[in-house]
Structures are given as structure tokens and as C-alpha cells.
Amino acid sequence: AGALLFVAAAASLPLWVRALGVGLRFRVTFLAWIAWLSSFAVVDGLHLEQITLLVVFFMAASMAALARGRLVVAAVLLAMATVKPHLVVLVVAFLLVWTMGDWRSRRGFAIAFGCVMAALLASSELVLPGWFQFWRQAAQAFVGYHRPSLLQSVFGRTGAMVVAGGAIALCGMMFWRFRKEPCGSRPFNYALVVALALTMLCLPTAAGANYNQAILLPAAVWLFTPGRSLAKGGLARLMWVMAVNTLAWEWILALPVSFAAFALQHRFEREATWFVAGPELVTFLFPLALALFLLCVAPQVLRSRVGRAPS
């Protein structure tokens, strides 16, 4: 299982680079690949053998297929990523809204996704009758015994519900506004990154399950490519620097943990030391800094969309 997850993680980066349509030289891609595989999220996922890394791969493969116009393949791969539905629900919502922007040419994606999901749900019911009730009970228990979300850690339970509700509503409006954008365009990629960042902020385990931050891989790639060009000074530039620094320090502080885990075979169960807490603290901060940067550059993205002639 560990070898499969490692291969999935390794393949995810070039797939996301292709999906986002960013041109990276081989040397830059190689360095990014090394940084990705030694990041705290990947190390944590490999250490715990978490299928989150497989979900990241399926999402990356799906988006890469979508960028090449293979709608049915993209839909099948995205449906496979729903093995952890809470990680992909906003991405699925965005892409289904996106299909409405040009239903005639994109309907294959929505139809294929619906058919594959129906087949998966039906086969699950055949294998384990009444599974949905069991899943619902497990999901309720999951929320109950895990740590609160990042939003709840910052705003409290009531405040987090208000902020999350407002953010999801704004996301829905943005998805509709960008529904006609081609895959790989600046607004499309921005909406995709926003969906992933908001997912990370709202996850009930966001402040504890560090491996879930692997879903922010495309956000990190975007941050250093189109995101860098959007940081044109002022508050946007400050937020970009903050996001980049938290991401960099997350990786720097994770290096000794990675070395201890894999080279020295050290086990970290129930270890509450600064050696472990350092990268975890920065991991907590990165999604927040990323979200602030996304808010700062939202007017630029919207203006660039408005300034173009309608398709």
C-alpha cells in the first residue's frame, strides 16, 4: 500500500502542472517534485498510509484529462476520487456548474459522472445492503470525535458556520460567473484553487489531519505561477509573501521529521514535542494565508474576466 501511495503522490505533480496549463522547465519541475514528496502532508500521508494521496492523484488525473478534452475519462477519474467525498465535493460542484456553461459540448462530463456515481452507489448497496445508513452514522461520529475545522479554530463554532455559509454562497456565485471559461484559463484555475482552499478550511479534521493538505498541491503550483503575477503590490503582495513563507517553512521544518521517520525509523505516536509541533503549526497557517491571498486578488481576477469579450 505504501508503494502505491508513493507512486500516486509522485505522479500527481506533473498531472497538476499539465492540468493548470503552467509551463515549467524540467529543472523547476524536478525541484518542485522533490519538495512535494518531502512535504509534511505527503510524509504524514505515507506514514499513516492515507488514501488521501490516492484521491489527490485521481483529482489530478481527472483535471489533466479534462484539460486535454477527454471529458468521459475525466468524469470517471473524478468519480473514483469521491472515495473521500468531503475532499472533492466543492470541486465536483464547480465542474458540474461549469458543464452548464456550454452544455452541448460538455454534457458528456456530467452524464458520465452521473452514470459512474450511480454504478458505484448501486454496487455498494449490493455488496453491503443499507450501507448508506452506516455511512451516515460513521460520518456523524467522524465529525464528533475529530478536531474542529480551521475556521472553527479561528472564529468559534457559531462564527465558523456563518463564515463558511457566506463563503460557500460566494463560491457558488463565482462558479456560475466563470461557468463559460475554458479549462485551464486564469478564472477557471482560480475557481478551482478557491474550491480546494475552502474545502481545507471547512474540513472537520483540518486542524489535525495534516495529510489532507495534500489536496492543496495545485494551489501551491498556482501560487508560484499565475498567483505570483497577481501579487502586484500592497496587501496582495504582503499576503502572497505570507502564504509563500508559511508553505516554505512547513517544508523546511518537515525535513528533519521526514528524515527521522524514514531514515531513522522513528515512530511519532503520541509525541508532543516542538520537533513535531513546528511543521504542524505552520501547516495550520498555510490554508489561512492562502485564503487571504485569494481574497485579495479576487477583484483582479473578476476584472480580467469582465474585460474580455463574452464567448
Residue 223 has pLDDT above 70, yes or no: yes
Q: Encode pLDDT of 10-63 as tens digits.
A: 999 999 999 998 877 888 888 889 889 888 888 888 888 899 999 999 999 999
Q: Kindly report the backbone phi and psi dihedral angles of residue 273, in degrees, each rounded to the nearest multiple of 5, phi listed first.
A: -130, 165
Which pLDDT band, with edges at 50, 70 and 90, does 307 fall under?
Answer: very low
pLDDT (average), residues 284-292: 89
- 3-class SS string, the chain: CHHHHHHHHHHHHHHHHHHHCCCCCHHHHHHHHHHHHCCHHHHHHHHHCCCHHHHHHHHHHHHHHHHCCCHHHHHHHHHHHCCCHHHHHHHHHHHHHHHHCCHHHHHHHHHHHHHHHHHHHHHHHHHCCCHHHHHHHHHHHHHHHCCCCHHHHHHHHHHHHHHHHHHHHHHHHHHHHCCCCCCCCHHHHHHHHHHHHHHHHHCCCCCCCHHHHHHHHHHHHHHHCHHHHHCCCHHHHHHHHHHHHHHHHHHHHHHHHHHHHHHCCCCCCCCCCHHHHHHHHHHHHHHHHHHHHHHHHHHHHHHHHHHCCCC
pLDDT given for residue 309 in this prediction: 39
Task: Specify the higher pLDDT residue, 256 or 99.
Answer: 99
pLDDT at position 97 is 96
What is the arithmetic mean of pLDDT over 290-306? 85
pLDDT one-digit tens code per residue, 58-88: 999 999 999 999 999 999 999 999 999 889 9
pLDDT confidence of residue 276? 61
* Residue 227 pLDDT greater than 80, yes or no: yes
pTM: 0.87
Residue 311: band (very low, low, confident or very high) from pLDDT cuts 50, 70, 90: very low
What does the pLDDT read at residue 168?
Answer: 94
Separation between Cα atoms, residue 66 and residue 75, nearest integer Å = 8
Q: Which are the contacts of 289, defined by CB distance < 8 A and separation ≥ 6?
A: 239, 242, 243, 246
Per-residue pLDDT tens over the stretch 88-124: 999 999 999 999 999 999 999 999 999 999 998 888 8
Tens-place pLDDT, residues 165-197: 999 999 999 999 999 999 989 999 999 999 999
CA distances from 198 to 111, 165, 187, 194, 253 (A): 26, 11, 16, 6, 25
Q: Residue 20 in contact with residue 189, Cβ under 8 Å?
A: yes
- Tens digit of each residue's pLDDT (9 = 90 or more) over 196-211: 999 999 887 655 678 8
Among 150-154, 174-178, 258-262, the minimum mean pLDDT is found in 258-262
**Per-residue exposure over 278-301, b if at least 16 CB sit within 10 Å of its own CB, e if not:** bbbebbbbbbbbbbbbbbbbbebb
Q: In this structure, which amino acid lies at residue 186? A: R
Residue with cell 453491503: 128
Query: pLDDT at position 297, please?
Result: 92
Residue 310 pLDDT:
40
pLDDT of 260: 66
* pLDDT score at 40: 80
Give the residue with greater pLDDT, 153 vs 116: 116
Is residue 274 pLDDT above 60, yes or no? no
